[in-house]
Structures are given as C-alpha cells and as structure tokens.
C-alpha cells in the first residue's frame, strides 16, 4: 500500500487502494485523505472484477471518453464488479493468481497507471 500511496502522491491523486485475495476477499485497504468516499467501493469492485476474470478490470469494457456516460458503471450494484480501468491481477512467481489490486480516485486511466506503478515499485 505504501508504494501505491507514494505513486498517487507523485501523480497528485488522492486515491483508495484495495487488495483482494484469489477468493475475492478483502485483505487490506487504504484510503488517502481527500479521496472520494465513492472510491472506497469502486476500488474493491475493480479488484473483484480483476480476480473474477483473472485480467485487468478494463479488459471487458469499452474505452471511456471524458464527457460521455460511463459504460458498465452499473455493474458495481449487480454483483460488485466494475469493468473500468484500475484493477490489476496479482500473480506469484509461477504466474498463478494470488489476488488483485484495485485503485480508485482519478480517471480510469490514472487509476490503472497507479495500480501498475504500485506493483512495479514493489517488484523493484
């Protein structure tokens, strides 16, 4: 979480981070001061989608365009999934799914970049 928070600070984004295990159970959660309250649920829903499909949360979605309706946003209420960028699978050294990281607080593109940056910082 510290690596994700540092990446978010570097990007000027107040974000929420959620890590789920391979069974989609919440393992840890961190909310930066000033992050939107809605991001609490959104980060978990992005991580859940990533675990359920073993892929980035945006893999089954269409690109998001500023000023346009947010596609698939309603899925957070229908099963707790959000097919929007910001959820990334976590894999062990053998490539096996061990969980997912979900990030919410910026645009979907920013959230995805923060999730990937957090993972990259852990692997450094």
CA 91 from chain center: how many Å? Answer: 15
Q: Over its length of 124 residues, how does the chain's per-residue pLDDT go in tens digits? A: 788 888 889 889 999 999 999 999 999 999 999 999 999 999 999 999 999 999 998 887 666 666 776 655 555 555 677 888 999 999 999 999 999 999 999 999 999 999 999 888 777 6
Provide the residue range defining the domain that includes 23.
2-123
Query: What local confidence, expressed as pLDDT, does residue 60 receive?
Result: 73
- Using an 8 Å Cβ cutoff, are 32 and 120 in contact? no
Query: What local confidence, expressed as pLDDT, does residue 24 receive?
Result: 94
Query: What local confidence, expressed as pLDDT, does residue 58 receive?
Result: 86
Query: What local confidence, expressed as pLDDT, does residue 3 receive?
Result: 82
CATH, residue 76: 3.30.450.150
Query: What local confidence, expressed as pLDDT, does residue 37 receive?
Result: 95
Query: What local confidence, expressed as pLDDT, does residue 106 receive?
Result: 94
Q: How far apart are CA 26 and CA 5, in angstroms?
A: 18
pTM of the model: 0.85
Q: How far apart are CA 36 and CA 28, in angstroms?
A: 18
- Pick the closest to residue 48 from 77, 96, 73, 83 (CA basis): 83
Q: Number of structural domains, the chain?
A: 1
- Using an 8 Å Cβ cutoff, are 10 and 30 in contact? no
DSSP state of 15: -
Q: How far apart are CA 104 and CA 5, in angstroms?
A: 12
Q: How far apart are CA 10 and CA 103, in angstroms?
A: 15
């Amino acid at each position: 979480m510290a690596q994700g928070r540092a990446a978010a600070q570097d990007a000027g984004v107040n974000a929420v981070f959620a890590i789920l295990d391979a069974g989609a159970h919440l393992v840890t959660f961190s909310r930066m001061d000033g992050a939107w309250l809605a991001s609490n649920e959104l980060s978990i829903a992005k991580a859940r989608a990533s675990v359920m499909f073993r892929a980035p949360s945006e893999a089954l979605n269409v690109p998001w365009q500023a000023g346009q309706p947010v596609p698939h946003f309603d899925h957070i209420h229908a099963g707790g999934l959000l097919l929007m960028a910001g959820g990334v699978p976590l894999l062990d050294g053998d490539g096996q799914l061990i969980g997912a990281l979900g990030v919410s607080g910026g645009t979907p593109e920013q959230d995805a970049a923060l999730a990937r940056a957090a993972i990259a910082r852990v692997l450094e």
